[in-house]
Structures are given as C-alpha cells and as structure tokens.
Amino acid sequence: MSEDYRPMWTDLGLNLEAHDALLGVLGPLYEQTFLSQQNRPDGMQYFDFVMSEVHGLRIKELMDAKAEGRKVIGAFCTFVPEELVLAVDGICAGLCAGAEWAPEEAEKLLPRNTCALIKGAFGFAATGVCPYLAASDVVVGENTCDGKKKAWEIFKDLDGVNDFYAIDIPQTKSPEGIALLRAEFERFKTKLEEISEKTIDADNLKKGIATVNAKRAAMHRLARLRAASPAPISGLDALLANQVFFYDDPKRFTDSVNKICDELKQRVKGGLGVADRDAPRILISGCPMAVPNWKLPTIIETSGAVIVGEESCVGERGTQNLTASTGDTVDDLMDAIVDRYSKIDCAIFTPNPSRLEHVKTMAREYNADGVVHYGLQFCAPYQIEAGPVEKALEADGIPTLRIDTDYSPEDVEQIRTRVEAFIERIRG
Ligand code: BJ8
C-alpha cells in the first residue's frame, strides 16, 4: 500500500491485529492467483492497483467523501439500486463476504450448515476486519433467501454495524411481486433522502441512472469481447473486473474497463489470446463469487480451460439490462428502475425460467463448450436449481458439470480431478 493507513483503520475501529492477519493472507493469494498468469492485458495493472489499495486508498476516498457529508451505503446483493444512492450523491460499497474468515466466530452465531457467503459476512463483521462495513453509514441487508433474511436478524445487532436497513425482495415476479419491489424501492428512496438530507428529483436520478448504465455498458462490452477465439482475457481477470465493479468509483471504473476493452479489441484483431485456440471454453453459472473467492476459476484455468463468461450476480446476472432513462418524472424513472431490477433472475424467484434461458444464450453467444454450475454448499436456491439447469443444458447438447463447494481449500484437489475429467470429456 502507498501509505500507512493504520491511523485510519484505528479510527474506523478495526481490529488491527486481525486485519493485519487478513492482509497477510490476501496479498500472497492475489499474487499467486493473478500475477502468475501469462499474457495479461496491460490494462489489468489498474485492477492490480485497485486490489493493492482495496483496504487503503479506496477506504480513504470513502472517508474523505464522508467528511464532505456524502453517505456510504454498504450492501451484499445486486438488488440494491445504486441509481438511487448516486442520486443523493452517495456511494455504494460491496461488503466483505467472499472468504472463509473466522468461521468459529460465525458459527457461534449461526448454524454450521449456513452458506459460506453468509458465514463469511459474519466472520468479517464479528472480528472487525471489514473497513467497508465500518465506513458504511447504512448497511443494507436484502431479504432474499431464507439464510440471508434470518441471518440479518442477528447481524443487525453486531458491533460495528451502523444503521442496519433490511429491504424486502419478492419471491415471485407476479404483478403483486413487482408492486412489492416498487414499494420497497420507494421506501429505500425515502431512507436515502432522510439520511442525506437531499431530495431525489428527475435530474439527479437521471444522472444516477446514466452513471450506472455506463458502468454496466462497459461490462457488456467486455463480455462481448470474450466471445473471440482465442479468448483475449482470462476468466480470472474478467471476474476481477466484475468484483471491482462493487467497490470502485463508478466513473473511474467505467473508464478503466473501456480502456481495457480498447486493448482487447486490438488483441482480437491480432488473434492474440490468453489461452490456446483449442482450449475448452467454459461458462460458469450459479452463486456469486465475491472477492477473494477465486477458488473454482483458478482450478478451471490452471487445468487447461478458459472461462468465457459468468452467469452470476458478480457477472452478467448482475450487470445485464440497462435502466431506461426516458421518463420525465421521478415516478417514471422509479418505474424504469423497478423494471430493470425485476429482471434479475436470482434463484430465490419461483419459478425462474429466464435464468435458464440466460445461461443458454450466454453459452451460445460466448461460444462456450461447457458449463460449470457453481453452488455454495447449503445454498438451497442455487443447489436445487442446479439439477433442472444441468438436465436442460445436457438435453441441448451442452456438457455441464455441477460443483458444490464452499470457501475452504480442503476440496481443491478433489474438484481439480472432476474439472480435469470434464475438460477431457469436452475435448472428446
Ligand atoms: S440477487 S444470488 S446477490 S441474493 S449463496 S446468501 S442465495 S444461500 S447471494 Fe445473492 Fe442477491 Fe440473489 Fe444475487 Fe443465499 Fe445462496 Fe448464500 Fe446467496
């Protein structure tokens, strides 16, 4: 890191000893996972820098913004409408939940058979090592799956969780479900107006929509470039961009992704890639992979395949669809926001046919040879949906491998054996 941030971390109330231990694990893991890759695009240096400063400079930026009166909204889910947060000049920050951290602390509060993502959030919070959580003026918990909605009842009272706010997400996309989402986004809008002492009007909301749309459009551009053969960027690097999406300043992030896309365009033109032209092309589908969850992609890409897309909330499920900004009133724009978010095909919805269609479309558009379905253990929505997804993809001639795992490294070699066998099957 470029400077000594310990005074800032102390002011934030972090547990410095535990935080040092966390950084001591993350730094080497990052180097080993990312810097060892061959033929990385030059533009990835920006993301390397962001990651090296993810608990440093970015947190300082948040603290400087707070000193100017801006509000930081921490969130765990892609359902939190960043457009509204930006409309009150606030900042959205993804909260730490992507690693197994202090599971023994999490298991004092939760049953063992809770998914790793929820346990990770509790481990980070309970040990005081997430500066994003500490910097958040409001922490949004989304009532999506049973695990999350019940866990928030405990999470909200943990030390270091400021002003917890639960947002209800419907379970179906019926007119009643959409009306609930509309009411919940309206309630969230009021909450943001209260804490920021600002009013959301059509102008600031349109600006918020434009900023988030630009960020998503840049990710769409990146996704399309990965359709080329050979793939111009590794799945790990593309996943990293999808992960940084939740942390970085939106405008700077958009510029950096567009810059890397310019570079990838040249690579595609010159036939330059990160893997052999005949490397099996894999689409990942399933649970979100938050920083620093790089386990499965690392296994896949060090086994001779290349990942060409992520059907995930940290990926295209989260970034697909722009918000229309054609309305002239706040009401029109709120409708457009609800319309856009109601298309997110999270497995908490029943039924959820559009997700399967999206997986098939992605497989076709990115020329995938096979799909690896990623389910976190004890995640009922995605693990249950995995069966029908696998069946439908196989029936369409798309080889599919189901991997159910957690964040621990214990099953790495077992998964590697299955992934290698899958790659052999694809190679025929
Ligand atoms: S919109 S996928 S980010 S809820 S892995 S906690 S579902 S038991 S993360 Fe998600 Fe929002 Fe849906 Fe996306 Fe529950 Fe499953 Fe755990 Fe999960």
For 64-112, the pLDDT digits (tens) are: 999 999 999 999 999 999 999 999 999 999 998 999 999 999 999 999 9
Give the C-alpha distances (Å, rounded to integers) separating 417 from 188, 299, 371, 412. 46, 10, 16, 9
Specify the DSSP class assigned to residue 34. I
Integer Cα distance of 409 and 318 in angstroms:
26
Q: Mean pLDDT lowest for which of 296-300, 326-330, 376-380, 415-419?
A: 326-330
Ligand 1 atom, smallest distance to 313 CA: 13
Decide whether any atom of ligand 1 lies within 6 Å of the 115 Cβ: yes
**Bridge partners (DSSP) listed for residue 413:** none
Q: Which residue has the CA at smallest separation from atom 4 of ligand 1?
A: 144
Q: Is 165 in the pocket of ligand 1 (CB under 6 A)?
A: no
Q: How far is the CA of 145 from the centre of ligand 1 (A)?
A: 7
pLDDT exceeds cutoff 80 at 198: yes
Is 118 near ligand 1, meaning CB less than 6 Å away? Answer: yes
Mutation choice for ligand 1 from 77, 122, 184, 243, CB with most ligand atoms inside 8 A: 77
DSSP label of 31: I
204 close to ligand 1 (CB < 6 Angstrom): no
Reduce the DSSP state of residue 72 to 3 states and report it: strand
| Residues 374-388: b if buried by 16+ CB within 10 A, e if exposed | bbbbbbebbbebbee
Q: Among candidates 124, 169, 130, 129, which has minimal Cα distance to 148?
A: 169
**How far, in Å, CA of 419 to CA of 402, rounded?**
10
* Rounded Cα distance, 174 and 196, in Å: 33
Span from the CA of 397 to the centroid of ligand 1 (angstroms): 28
Measured CA to CA, the distance from residue 190 to residue 23 in angstroms comes to: 37
Neighbours of 255 (CB within 10 A): 14
User: Is residue 140 lining ligand 1, measured as CB closer than 6 Å?
Assistant: no
Per the structure block, which two tokens stand in for 1? Answer: 């890191």
Q: How many other C-beta atoms can be found within 10 angstroms of the C-beta atom of residue 223?
A: 22
Whether the CB of 169 sits within 6 Å of ligand 1: no
Give tens-digit pLDDT for 309-332.
999 999 999 999 999 988 899 999
For 17-61, the pLDDT digits (tens) are: 999 999 999 999 999 999 999 999 999 999 999 999 999 999 999
Task: Give the whole-number percent of the chain exceeding pLDDT 90.
Answer: 98
Mutational test site, ligand 1, from 317, 376, 378, 406, max ligand atoms within 8 Å of CB: 376
Inter-residue contact 255 to 43 (CB < 8 Å): no
